[in-house]
């Protein structure tokens, strides 16, 4: 059996589900796009090829296994994009919470049922249907749970609005020992440079006390400023709109001292190395064309 344990974003990783690009299907139609970045590449004819994404995920797997991480992969569903494992579930402490995702992605959760069988049933939580929540918006960080949300009256108009107010209340109820801190995110169905699809598209803790941040991803400046004050200005790596578009905040921590990053993120990777962090650089630019990167591809189960 797997003893779930996730208290933060960076403690030493022992077990993870990593998405798969095998049999990810044909290029979607424009009206089938889940996010503006995918839409942009569909229209431009630059949507990523399956074999390129398979190679990128293989490189990610190799790095995880090099660091002795147990890697699970979803069962392959023909013609189904199963790369973004973070969208389907997430773990806080010793509980796995099923994400309430876009309805036609339900099959992706079924594809990890063989992993769920290794977890005690009473540790798996199925939120009620009015709770909209995805793992990219949820970050356990010690005594806090950071959560990205959108609570505007036009919520239903945004396919990019994935986590609602009911989800914030749900996490407060389920984890009364934690401080749940919500952040309103900027949403756009059409402009990927003005859209924070999830919280991890504009923010992520790194190491033991640092963070990557993109100010324009936050709708409320005071909420952004709260994070700057929480981590300390000298501990924050601020990314530009272009870097946010390239998913620079969406790296992945194997431990407080090891980060997996895209090989083209030169500015960030140098900043991390200057602070004593080992950076494992891999190619992941093709996957990023679908509006997600390294953190989005993972569902961590156990950190020490």
Q: Could you report the per-residue pLDDT of 24-63, keeping only the tens digit for each?
A: 988 988 888 777 788 889 999 999 999 999 999 999 999 9
Q: Which two tokens stand for residue 181?
A: 């801190």
Quick check: 12 and 303 in contact, CB under 8 A? yes
Q: Compute the half-sphere exposure of residue 65: CA atoms within 13 Å on the CB side of its CA.
A: 10
**Angle formed at CA 147 by CA 229 and CA 76, multiple of 5 degrees:** 135
Summarize the chain as % helix, strand, coil (round to 5): 35, 25, 40
- Helix spans in the chain (H): 36-44, 50-66, 106-110, 113-116, 165-174, 221-231, 241-245, 266-274, 285-288
- Give me the sign of the Cα torsion angle 178, 170, 35, 60: positive
Quick check: 14 and 65 in contact, CB under 8 A? no
Comparison of pLDDT for 191 and 85, the residue scoring more? 85
The confidence score (pLDDT) of residue 160 equals 66
The confidence score (pLDDT) of residue 276 equals 97
Residues facing 203 on adjacent strands = 213
Q: Which residue is associated with the tokens 């891999």?
A: 282
Quick check: 217 and 169 in contact, CB under 8 A? no
Section 177-183 average pLDDT? 97
pTM reported for the whole predicted model: 0.94
Q: Compute the half-sphere exposure of residue 151: CA atoms within 13 Å on the CB side of its CA.
A: 12
**Angle formed at CA 284 by CA 283 and CA 287, multiple of 5 degrees:** 150
Q: What is the pLDDT of residues 128-165, one digit of tens each?
A: 999 999 999 999 999 999 999 988 888 777 766 688 99
Grouping H, G, I as helix, E, B as strand and the rest as coil, residue 73 is coil
User: Rounded to an integer, what distance in angstroms lies between the CA atom of residue 134 and that of residue 144?
Assistant: 17
Grouping H, G, I as helix, E, B as strand and the rest as coil, residue 214 is coil
Q: Which two tokens stand for residue 156?
A: 């239903």
Q: How confident is the model at residue 123 (pLDDT cuts 50, 70, 90)?
A: very high
What length does the chain have?
A: 304
Q: Is the model's pLDDT at 102 over the cut of 70?
A: no
Sheet containing 179-184: order of strands: 138-141, 144-149, 179-184
Quick check: 113 and 272 in contact, CB under 8 A? no
Q: What is the pLDDT of residues 218-245, one digit of tens each?
A: 999 999 999 999 999 999 999 999 999 9
Quick check: 213 and 239 in contact, CB under 8 A? yes
Quick check: 241 and 176 in contact, CB under 8 A? no
Q: Which residue is associated with the tokens 């979607």?
A: 28
The confidence score (pLDDT) of residue 195 equals 77
């Amino acid at each position: 059996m797997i003893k779930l344990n996730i208290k933060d974003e960076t403690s030493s990783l022992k077990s993870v589900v990593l998405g798969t690009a095998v049999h990810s299907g044909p290029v979607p139609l424009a009206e089938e796009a889940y996010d503006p970045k995918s839409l942009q590449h569909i229209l431009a004819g630059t949507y990523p090829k399956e074999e390129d994404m398979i190679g990128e995920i293989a490189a990610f797997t190799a790095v995880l296994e090099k660091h002795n991480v147990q890697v699970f992969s979803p069962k392959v569903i023909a013609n189904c994009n199963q790369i973004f494992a973070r969208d389907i579930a997430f773990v806080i402490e010793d509980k796995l919470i099923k994400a309430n995702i876009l309805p036609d992605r339900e099959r992706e959760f079924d594809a990890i049922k063989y992993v769920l069988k290794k977890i005690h049933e009473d540790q798996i939580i199925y939120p009620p249907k009015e709770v909209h929540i995805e793992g990219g918006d949820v970050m356990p960080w010690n005594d806090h749970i950071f959560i990205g949300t959108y609570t505007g009256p036009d919520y239903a108009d945004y396919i990019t609005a994935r986590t609602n107010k009911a989800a914030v209340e749900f996490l407060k109820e389920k984890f009364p020992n934690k401080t749940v801190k919500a952040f309103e995110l900027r949403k756009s169905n059409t402009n990927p440079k003005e859209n924070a699809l999830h919280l991890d598209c504009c923010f992520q803790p790194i190491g033991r006390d640092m963070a990557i941040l993109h100010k324009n991803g936050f709708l409320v400046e005071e909420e952004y400023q709260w994070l700057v004050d929480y981590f300390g200005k000298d501990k924050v790596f601020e990314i530009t709109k272009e870097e946010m578009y390239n998913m620079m905040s969406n790296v992945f921590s194997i431990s407080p001292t090891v980060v997996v990053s895209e090989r083209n993120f030169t500015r960030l990777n140098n900043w991390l190395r200057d602070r004593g962090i080992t950076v494992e650089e891999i190619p992941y630019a093709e996957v990023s064309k679908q509006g997600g990167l390294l953190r989005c591809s993972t569902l961590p189960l156990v950190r020490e």
